[in-house]
Amino acid sequence: MSRKVILVAGTPAEHSINYSYKDNKRDFASKTYNYAVAILKANRGIKGRNSFDVEIVDYPVTRKMDNLSEGQIAEILNKSPVAIGFSAYCWNRHIFENTARSVKRENKGVKIFLGGPSVSYNPVDILKNNKDIDIIVVGDGEETFSELLNHNFKDLDKVRGIVFRCGDSIIRNPKNNNVDINNLLSPYLSDNYLPNSDAIMIEPSRGCIYRCKFCSWSKDRKLNIKNKSMLINELLWSYERGYRKINFSDTSINMTNEQLSIISDSLRLSNVYEKLSLSVFMKYDRIDETQIKMIDGLRFDEIIIGLESINDAVLKECGKPPFSREKFERIIKVLGEMGNKITISIITGLPKDSYKGIEKTIKYLEELINKYPDYINFVCSFWLAILPGTRFEREAEKYGFKYLQKGTPYLVSSKYMSAKELLRVADFVYRETEKNVKFFCEEYYIELLEGK
């Protein structure tokens, strides 16, 4: 009897290896892979040993796709899996829902489960609307996945952290607690997982203490920091296998001094940090003298700062602190003088913003690039998406948000900006990327302008 489970990832094509894009018409996550399925696989036995053979497949997906291809579905089914798990994000959820339908047409007996941020917040509706999906894994999936394997995808009432179909009913089991990342196995150290990418993703912490209204990451989460020894071992493992670029894939490395101290100590103690190119997220408003001392002597080739806007009314509406020009510029200067390079990201389409407001933010950043050309890598514009589980999604009516219902839920219009004004914004940002090599934008801007 087959004991195989396939975990299916759908990485956006524009982030996949070998995808060609127009230079600076993309965001900064250019070469990535799905870390979530790798860590699920690594932890398949944490709730008890089982004999399942877990295999990962990762297909590049685009916004134009509605389903995986017949060939890809046949490739999955030819492996005769007992169950297929889809790693669902907003950009691929509709593709995987349709794929579930196609798979069940071919093989009714295979169990289909979905997990990930875009299905964790409304699992009952997703199961109601998709009769071919059997199980939704809610929240952190590692322990739940291992439990599903232990129970052989049966006795589902005993598996915490899932919502599942039972005949005509949909049953919601008690939640799983958020996992402690220090109790999880590293996909690199335990599975020798070798991603086909020149950059390795390392997760130094999980969770976020902020509550930005456009983000679902912080919901119910406390900051969980990986211990030094695991971080050091992952850095050494990466270096020894020839990887030189490390992307720290958490929300920010400096939300607390304890977090920054653990991460910076681990880098130093690894003794290889000088030979690595490091990319991290940081909160500029948290950086003070103490934190500067903590990172003294380290060098980051990319510190990504989510500025979003320089308009205080806009920031307030997002749940972010007001913009302090004086502090922001001082931090850029100090970080730059220490040899770091900074990338700044902004979001267009936020409530209380306008064409004029966005123009003001961009003009300011142009000036800043001219002032600190050696310190600023580039500025990247993202289009607002009303993501599942966010406060913006819950308050969509209040803000008058209209957004795409298929794929990434990009904003179409709001109480503050009409579709026409947003198109003007897309055009303005795009032109900025044409005339200034340090301005980047998500591919969605191009898609919008092409459909004009």
Would you say 212 or 379 has its CB closer to ligand SF4?
A: 212
Would you say 223 or 441 has its CB closer to ligand SF4?
A: 223
Would you say 221 or 244 has its CB closer to ligand SF4?
A: 221
- Least distance (Å) from ligand SF4 to the CB of residue 218? 4
- Least distance (Å) from ligand SF4 to the CB of residue 181? 16
Would you say 191 or 312 has its CB closer to ligand SF4?
A: 312
133, 37 in Cβ contact below 8 A?
Answer: no
Name the burial class of residue 130, with classes exposed (0-12), middle (13-18) and buried (19+) by CB atoms within 10 angstroms of its CB: buried
- Least distance (Å) from ligand SF4 to the CB of residue 444? 18
Start-to-end C-alpha separation, the chain: 54
135-137 and 162-166 beta bridge pairing = antiparallel
Would you say 110 or 212 has its CB closer to ligand SF4?
A: 212
Would you say 115 or 117 has its CB closer to ligand SF4?
A: 117
CB atoms within 10 A of CB 307: 19
In the structure encoding, which two tokens stand for residue 225, read together? 């920091």
Would you say 163 or 253 has its CB closer to ligand SF4?
A: 253
* Residue-by-residue DSSP string for 364-378: HHHHHHHHSTTTEEE
- Least distance (Å) from ligand SF4 to the CB of residue 321? 11
Which residue in 327, 249, 336 sits closest to 299, CA to CA? 336
Would you say 85 or 117 has its CB closer to ligand SF4?
A: 117
Determine the Cα–Cα distance for residues 179 and 141; give it in Å rounded to an integer.
9
376-383 and 342-348 beta bridge pairing = parallel
- Least distance (Å) from ligand SF4 to the CB of residue 209? 7
Name the burial class of residue 267, with classes exposed (0-12), middle (13-18) and buried (19+) by CB atoms within 10 angstroms of its CB: buried
130, 170 in Cβ contact below 8 A?
Answer: no
98, 21 in Cβ contact below 8 A?
Answer: no
* Residue-by-residue DSSP string for 26-45: S-S--S---HHHHHHHHTTT
Determine the Cα–Cα distance for residues 37 and 44; give it in Å rounded to an integer.
10
Name the burial class of residue 245, with classes exposed (0-12), middle (13-18) and buried (19+) by CB atoms within 10 angstroms of its CB: middle
- Least distance (Å) from ligand SF4 to the CB of residue 214? 7
Would you say 209 or 449 has its CB closer to ligand SF4?
A: 209
Residues that bind ligand SF4 (CB under 6 A): 208, 210-212, 215, 217-218, 251-252, 306
- Least distance (Å) from ligand SF4 to the CB of residue 286? 10
- Least distance (Å) from ligand SF4 to the CB of residue 328? 16
- Least distance (Å) from ligand SF4 to the CB of residue 284? 11
